[in-house]
Structure formats: structure tokens, C-alpha cells
Amino acid sequence: MKKRITQSELYSEYPHILEHLTGLVKPSFKSTLSHKLIHLVKLRASQINQCGFCQHMHAEEARVSDENQSRLDVLSAWRELDCFSFEERTALAWTEALTLIHSSTITEEMYNSVESTFGKEGLIELTSIILQINSWNRISVSLQFQPSI
């Protein structure tokens, strides 16, 4: 079986991937998205995409940002629990809709909810974050990146 491209090979031989994906998300100083919210979004998309590498990384980053471990433990059940704020629920719904776009419908109601919650700039920023993490998930899963556990 042929060896897959390693993480370090990807970054050294194809630096444009790192540059372009990192460039997708450059939060502005007036961002309405908190670090905790961003970590939840990245972690939820990574759960859906079954990317262990990114789940490990974003759970650790969330804990460093003072996210409560008990909320991380139940993130996949966010719809059933009241420990997530309205803004977090809106962002997580948008995350799931974009991540599962092949089987979901982006309704006017959903779009309007995200825009009214975060504003146009926030909607674009949130969408960019979701695009970025979904791209990273696909790279990490296909190349079988392994977390250092």
C-alpha cells in the first residue's frame, strides 16, 4: 500500500493550500463571533465529517478558551439541551446545514435567522469558517492525519 502524503509534506510541498485555507478566515476586529462559538462550530463540523484529527484539535482549543468540557461532551445533541445560547444554536444549525448541504435545504427562514442574529458580515464570516473547517476535514480524513493523543 502506498504511503499517503503526511501533514508536514502537505505544508512544505503545497504551502498554497495552507495559505489559501488560512486566508479564508480573517476575523475582523469588529467580529460578532466569539472564540467559544467558533470552536463549537469547528468541532461540530468535524464531528459530522468524522474527522478525529480536527475533533481533537478543536476540542483542545475550546478548552483553552475556557469552554466547559460538559458542553463539549454533549455538543452533538445541542438541539435537545438548553445549555447552548440562541446565538450558538443559530450558528450550529447553519454549520449543520452547510456541512450536510447535500441533504439539507437552506430555507429563507434559516438564512434570515442567521443574518438577523449575526448581521451580513457575521453571516459571511461564519460561512467562511464553516467552509474552511469542512475543507480541512476533507484533507485530514483523506490523508489520514493522526492527532497526537
Query: Per the structure block, which three cell numbers stand in for 43?
Result: 468541532
In this model, does residue 27 exceed pLDDT 80? no
Instruction: Return the half-sphere exposure (C-beta side, CA atoms, 13 A cut-off) of residue 6.
Output: 3
Which of 2-6, 56-60, 87-91, 107-111 shows the lowest mean pLDDT across its residues? Answer: 2-6
Give the mean pLDDT of 125-146: 95
Which of 11-15, 55-59, 99-103, 135-139 shows the lowest mean pLDDT across its residues? Answer: 11-15
In this model, does residue 147 exceed pLDDT 70? yes
What whole-number distance in Å separates Cα of residue 70 and Cα of residue 132? 26
What whole-number distance in Å separates Cα of residue 79 and Cα of residue 84? 9
CATH class in words for 33-141:
mainly alpha
The model's pLDDT over 49-99, given as tens digits with 9 standing for 90+, comes to: 999 999 999 999 999 999 999 999 999 999 999 999 999 999 999 999 999
Could you tell me the residue ranges of all domains in the chain?
Answer: 33-141
Strand, coil or helix: 148: coil
In this model, does residue 28 exceed pLDDT 70? no
Alpha-carbon separation of residue 125 from 10, 19, 23, 50 (angstroms) = 26, 17, 12, 23
Instruction: Return the half-sphere exposure (C-beta side, CA atoms, 13 A cut-off) of residue 62.
Output: 23
Highest mean pLDDT among 17-21, 95-99, 103-107, 142-146: 95-99
pLDDT at 148: 83
In this model, does residue 2 exceed pLDDT 80? no
